[in-house]
């Protein structure tokens, strides 16, 4: 029974230790990296927006044909 308690207490300690290691390895991105990430996100937003727009553009006439313009 005490082994289970030790394992149960060990899990949060491992989590905290791993979290501290992760934070010490993290570095703040340089301005060049930050701009590159921002550009990639903007391109992703634009692509998803155009996909949504074209799906809606195709969906409206098909819906009108099926429903009959109700």
Sequence-ordered list of residues with C-beta below 8 angstroms from that of 37, at least 6 positions apart, any chain: 29
What is the rounded distance in angstroms from the CA atom of residue 44 to the CA atom of residue 37? 11
What is the rounded distance in angstroms from the CA atom of residue 51 to the CA atom of residue 48? 5
69 dihedral zone (left: phi>0; alpha: psi -120 to 50; beta): left
Q: Mind listing the pLDDT tens digit for each residue in 2-36?
A: 777 777 778 888 999 999 999 999 999 999 999 99
> Average pLDDT in the 54-65 region?
90
Share of the chain above pLDDT 70, in %: 96
């Amino acid at each position: 029974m005490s082994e289970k308690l030790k394992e149960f207490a060990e899990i949060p300690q491992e989590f905290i230790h791993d979290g501290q290691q992760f934070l010490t390895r993290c570095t703040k991105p340089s301005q060049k990296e930050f701009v590159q990430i921002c550009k990639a996100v903007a391109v992703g937003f634009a692509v998803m927006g155009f996909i949504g727009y074209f799906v809606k553009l195709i969906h409206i006439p098909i819906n009108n044909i099926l429903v009959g313009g109700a």
